[in-house]
Structure 1
Amino acid sequence: MKLTKLFNDFFHSEKSGGIILIICTIISLVLANAALGPQYASIWNYEVGSHSVTHWINDGLMAIFFLLIGLELEREIYIGELSDIKNSLLPIIAALGGMLVPAGFHLMFNFGTDTQAGAGIPMATDIAFALGVLSLLGSRVPVSLKIFLTALAVIDDLGAILVIAIFYSGTISWMSLGIAIAIFIFLLILNRLRVHNLIPYLLAGVAMWYFMLHSGIHATITGVLLAFAIPFGNGDEKSPSYILQHVLHKPVAFFILPIFALANTSIAINAHWYQSLIHVNAYGIFVGLVFGKPIGISLFSYLSVKLKATQLPAGLTFKQIIGAGFLGGIGFTMSIFITLLAFNSGKFVEQSKIVVMLSSLIAGIIGFVILKVSLRPADSRM
């Protein structure tokens, strides 16, 4: 089975980015808990234009990350693995289970409490980290498993985007929202008129981001809307979508996500940090990521195949799906991002970040071990 150049580029970019994310997280935690910890934290809290550096990263740079996610999703839908309904249905159903079950576990612990809003935290999968761990298994990984996990993670991120738009938006400013939508419609018209110059799309995208930022809808949604407004054409190397996607790959993987990790994991861990884990919110996140993700992904996949709604791709086994389900429990970037939207309390934010990192680490290790045991050299035929 042969992978497309686009998919290869995406996979190798994301797996490298995952390794860098791990390094940045370790560096940030060490610096935050060193003697100069307060000075390090002050870098991210420094005010620039009435907003902290961290705020600009989370609302500004992450919009570019979501733009790349949107471009990748568009590619998958038009000419990639999601263009064939038989290929797309299994990861779609698996991703649905991987969102609903973890959210259900969190709500089971937190329904009616102050931390109920955290139900979206264990729903997310970090593409870079998940593919980074998968890449550690080397050439034994079958192509069908790479495609399944990548498609699952991309669909999962789309689900996270919808969750952010619906459940984590503030009071709506209808005027700002209306202007943002008008700009989006204008971009769609440019698309229909076959305007392939990227400059008007990018300039209008910045304006759309500005008004979306002031609308009450989270500004990062702009990235996805812009992605689907940019002409895709036939997806070849001259396509505006293709060009922008490849321009963004390395900056996102090697700059934006590492900066996000550094800014959002500068957590000063005190001597009694473990006491914060004794809380219903911590239980919900941990159970959701470590157990809810693999259960939801595996169960929904199994039922869809047994009910003949989908079929397993050649070379993919249910053991591998279970392993991929645990890798889906690596929430990290997206889970931390939703944490920042879910809670205003610094106490719950710090608590959630710690649990997300621990849960992601445990889920990643379990997934790696399961896949290492289940994969055999014969499985890596391509």
Structure 2
Amino acid sequence: MPEQPSQLSPPVDPARDHMDGPDDPGVTLLEYGDYQCGYCQRAHAGIRRIREQHLPGQVRYVFRHLPNTRLHPDAQRAAEAAEAAAAQGRFWDMHDYMFANQDALDRDSLVDAAATLGLDQQRFARELDDQIHAPRVRADLDHAQASGVHVTPTFFIDGRRYDGPWDDESVLDTMRRPLGGRVRQFAEDFAGLSASAGFLMLLGAVVALIWANSPWAASYTALWNTEMAVRLGGFVLPLSLHQWINDGLIVFFFFVVTLEIKREITAGEMSDPRRAALPLAAATGGMVAPAVLYLLFNWGGPAAMGWGVPMATDTAFALGIMAMLGPRVPLALKVFVATLAIADDVGAILVLALFYTTDIAVAGLVLAALCFAAALALNRARVYRPLPYSLVGIGLWLAVLYSGVHTTLAGVLLAFAIPTHSPPNTPGLHSQSTALFDSLQAPPVASNDQSRYQATVRALESLVGRLLSPAQRLERDLRPWSSYLILPLFALANAGIAVAPSTLDFLRPVSLGVIVGLVIGKPLGITLATWLAVRAGLADQPTEFSWRQVAGAGALCGIGFTMSIFIADAAFADSGPLALAKVSVMVACVLAAGLGSWLLRGAPSPSA
């Protein structure tokens, strides 16, 4: 699903923001805060300590309002009081006063505070009573939503969200920007870009194409044919580097995809049948129409088995281009495409398992079934540690590899066996964690104080681990490896096609089927299936995006790079049709990206 933004939006503006500090600061610290929030009060003291003791004269501090009226009934009034004081040039005096007197934020106390601070008391009281400054506070709330801020305090350091610990040392490490911190920040910023995974895949594909058509083409082929056998006694697993990527590493990609599918089915967009109906219908149309168009060109021919190639959608590329189009693409459309793509992945996995598997070894299937049963038994026994599942997963992968079924099935089965558990009792965990932190502040107890500290830290780690299920933790931890290592390696290993006249003959049935299927079939199938689902009453008509935007998103779903190439490898044994199919996939991706971008750039509003 689309990620929460990590960048401040809008950026700091001296014309509207409340700022305290040098005009040319070494660092800018922005806080979204609530004057009745106890955590903000503690953070206020820490911010003052950092500014006055650690980095004097180097920090510009900016404050924006985020009053939580559900928990703090006086917070909205306090925010407006700060703005009423700002109208008389005394924002920071009122700001400091309210954090120092959180138990006195009622109307009369604030009016008395205005007099204490030397403000025009009558003007202050009138503006507070008439809520003159409510729109200014509302604007900060809107900005908080645009920046993905929902809790207080939330900090941004030089425009980047800071989610690290609030202790002085951790904050100072980020502000001082040591080399390691700058490298980490660059990596986080890059990973935060929706287009980053797609960019790395594209880079891998471009490098592969150039390499395979350069004077060093033989080294490209030799590299991927290098045998990397695993030997254990008399057991030998003689796989080439290419096979390790296509039969080994890619399993992690399918494992992560299936974890995401599982999450969406249990708690996401697809958990509500009514909400899921529209993207499910779109995904079905987006798979059927391209396959039918492909078969129209190849029915009865030797390449008919390639009908699965134009069915796939590459989520990273599609969402990446939508992100680059900015506000032209509403968030609801991105969610629709993400859910559609997940359903599309389910279809691609089923197609691979059911239609592109030959030479089945029954013994391997039996062994795989036993391994899967063992994983389910671990789940039922409430085993939450990843190591037992990893060991069973290795056995499952070997069994599936031996069976002749594509090894992606191993990743799918293991992901469905990874346990989830009921949502945590957050009030109970909060009370327990507070008690544990309070225990750390108790006076030291001689020699066993260090062991007490370590035991408390282990208990806190266990509490934090309870907040995410094993499936959620694995999805979070493995997704970067899948997106930024495995998929670019897959592109590098599979996109190196030696370009020849035969691979550029786009009028051959294979090429026409792939290109027409992806570029025309995808948007046609998605739009038509979505319209039919609405007309049949199976789903509600979208109000957040227009039909042209549906068509534009459908065109972007024609970027089928990863899964299309993967299915092509499974569908074509002959190198000639395989090379032509891969080149056609790349051409189709470029055309689909252009068509989708054009449709979305000129799309009318939903009411049009």
- For normalisation by structure 1, the TM-score amounts to 0.93
Separation in structure 2 between the aligned mates of residue 76 and residue 298 of structure 1, nearest angstrom? 22
Instruction: Find out whether 1:304 has 2:533 as its counterpart.
Output: yes
Instruction: Find out whether 1:144 has 2:373 as its counterpart.
Output: no
Q: Is the alpha carbon distance of 1:151 and 1:331 closer, same or farther for their aligned partners in structure 2, counting shifts above 3 Å?
A: same
Q: In 1, are the aligned partners of 2:194 and 2:323 still within 8 Å (CA)? A: no
Aligned partner of residue 47 in structure 1, secondary structure:
coil
Partner of 1:116: 304
Q: CA RMSD in A?
A: 2.2
Q: In 2, are the aligned partners of 1:140 and 1:375 still within 8 Å (CA)? A: no
1:185 shift after superposition:
1.4
Separation in structure 2 between the aligned mates of residue 374 and residue 234 of structure 1, nearest angstrom? 42
Q: Is the alpha carbon distance of 1:256 and 1:375 closer, same or farther for their aligned partners in structure 2, counting shifts above 3 Å?
A: farther
Q: In 2, are the aligned partners of 1:17 and 1:128 still within 8 Å (CA)? A: yes
1:308 shift after superposition:
1.4
Q: Which runs of structure 2 are paired with 1:366-381 in the superposition (5 Å)?
A: 366-374=595-603
Moved more, 38-47 or 265-274: 265-274
1:273 shift after superposition:
3.9
Q: Which runs of structure 2 are paired with 1:4-15 in the superposition (5 Å)?
A: 12=192, 15=195
1:168 is matched with which residue: 322, 341, 356?
Answer: 356
1:105 shift after superposition:
0.9
Q: Which runs of structure 2 are paired with 1:246-325 in the superposition (5 Å)?
A: 246-270=476-500, 273-275=503-505, 277-325=506-554
Partner of 2:198: 18
Instruction: Find out whether 1:28 has 2:208 as its counterpart.
Output: yes
Q: Is the alpha carbon distance of 1:178 and 1:12 closer, same or farther for their aligned partners in structure 2, counting shifts above 3 Å?
A: farther
Point out the structure with the larger helix share: 1
Separation in structure 2 between the aligned mates of residue 375 and residue 199 of structure 1, nearest angstrom? 52
Q: Is the alpha carbon distance of 1:73 and 1:326 closer, same or farther for their aligned partners in structure 2, counting shifts above 3 Å?
A: same
1:77 is matched with which residue: 262, 265, 273?
Answer: 265
Larger Rg over CA atoms: 2
Partner of 1:345: 574
Q: In 1, are the aligned partners of 2:546 and 2:603 still within 8 Å (CA)? A: no
Q: Which amino acid aligns with 1:309?
A: L
Partner of 1:206: 394
Separation in structure 1 between the aligned mates of residue 220 and residue 399 of structure 2, nearest angstrom? 32
- Which string of whole-angstrom CA distances, capped at 9 and with x for unpartnered residues, describes residues 244-269 of structure 1? 00111111111000000000011121
Partner of 2:281: 93
Q: Which amino acid aligns with 1:35?
A: P
- Which string of whole-angstrom CA distances, capped at 9 and with x for unpartnered residues, describes residues 190-249 of structure 1? 112211111111110111011001112111111111111001213674310111001111
Moved more, 292-301 or 39-48: 39-48
Q: In 2, are the aligned partners of 1:25 and 1:261 still within 8 Å (CA)? A: yes
Q: In 2, are the aligned partners of 1:149 and 1:324 still within 8 Å (CA)? A: yes
Aligned residues: 374
1:125 shift after superposition:
0.7
- Which string of whole-angstrom CA distances, capped at 9 and with x for unpartnered residues, describes residues 129-156 of structure 1? 1112111112442111111110111110
1:45 shift after superposition:
2.0
Q: Which amino acid aligns with 2:221?
A: A
Separation in structure 2 between the aligned mates of residue 5 and residue 178 of structure 1, nearest angstrom? 43
- Which string of whole-angstrom CA distances, capped at 9 and with x for unpartnered residues, describes residues 82-113 of structure 1? 11111111111110011111111111111111
Q: Which amino acid aligns with 1:323?
A: G
Partner of 1:181: 369
Moved more, 68-77 or 26-35: 26-35
Q: Which amino acid aligns with 1:334?
A: M
Separation in structure 2 between the aligned mates of residue 42 and residue 293 of structure 1, nearest angstrom? 36
1:271 shift after superposition:
5.4
Q: In 1, are the aligned partners of 2:212 and 2:220 still within 8 Å (CA)? A: yes
1:239 is matched with which residue: 469, 478, 492?
Answer: 469
Q: In 2, are the aligned partners of 1:165 and 1:218 still within 8 Å (CA)? A: yes
Separation in structure 1 between the aligned mates of residue 378 and residue 241 of structure 2, nearest angstrom? 34
Separation in structure 2 between the aligned mates of residue 140 and residue 237 of structure 1, nearest angstrom? 35
Q: In 1, are the aligned partners of 2:306 and 2:572 still within 8 Å (CA)? A: yes
Partner of 1:193: 381
Aligned partner of residue 169 in structure 1, secondary structure:
coil
Separation in structure 2 between the aligned mates of residue 322 and residue 273 of structure 1, nearest angstrom? 30
Aligned partner of residue 195 in structure 1, secondary structure:
coil
Partner of 2:416: 228
Partner of 2:587: 358
1:316 shift after superposition:
2.1
Q: Which runs of 5+ in 2 are unaligned?
A: 6-147, 149-187, 230-237, 424-465
Q: In 1, are the aligned partners of 2:503 and 2:579 still within 8 Å (CA)? A: no
Say which structure, 1 or 2, has more relative contact order (CA 8 Å, 6+ apart): 1
- Which string of whole-angstrom CA distances, capped at 9 and with x for unpartnered residues, describes residues 152-200 of structure 1? 1111011000000000011211111011011111211211221111111
- Which string of whole-angstrom CA distances, capped at 9 and with x for unpartnered residues, describes residues 54-77 of structure 1? 111111111000000000001101
Partner of 1:41: 221
Separation in structure 2 between the aligned mates of residue 15 and residue 201 of structure 1, nearest angstrom? 32
Separation in structure 1 between the aligned mates of residue 269 and residue 194 of structure 2, nearest angstrom? 17
Provide the identity percentage.
41
Q: Which amino acid aligns with 2:397?
A: W
Separation in structure 1 between the aligned mates of residue 507 and residue 587 of structure 2, nearest angstrom? 14
Q: Which amino acid aligns with 1:322?
A: A
Separation in structure 1 between the aligned mates of residue 593 and residue 414 of structure 2, nearest angstrom? 32
Separation in structure 2 between the aligned mates of residue 48 and residue 112 of structure 1, nearest angstrom? 39
Q: In 2, are the aligned partners of 1:87 and 1:313 still within 8 Å (CA)? A: no
Partner of 2:240: 52
Q: Which amino acid aligns with 1:33?
A: N
Q: In 1, are the aligned partners of 2:503 and 2:576 still within 8 Å (CA)? A: no
Q: In 2, are the aligned partners of 1:14 and 1:253 still within 8 Å (CA)? A: no
Q: Is the alpha carbon distance of 1:5 and 1:234 closer, same or farther for their aligned partners in structure 2, counting shifts above 3 Å?
A: farther
Separation in structure 2 between the aligned mates of residue 357 and residue 129 of structure 1, nearest angstrom? 12
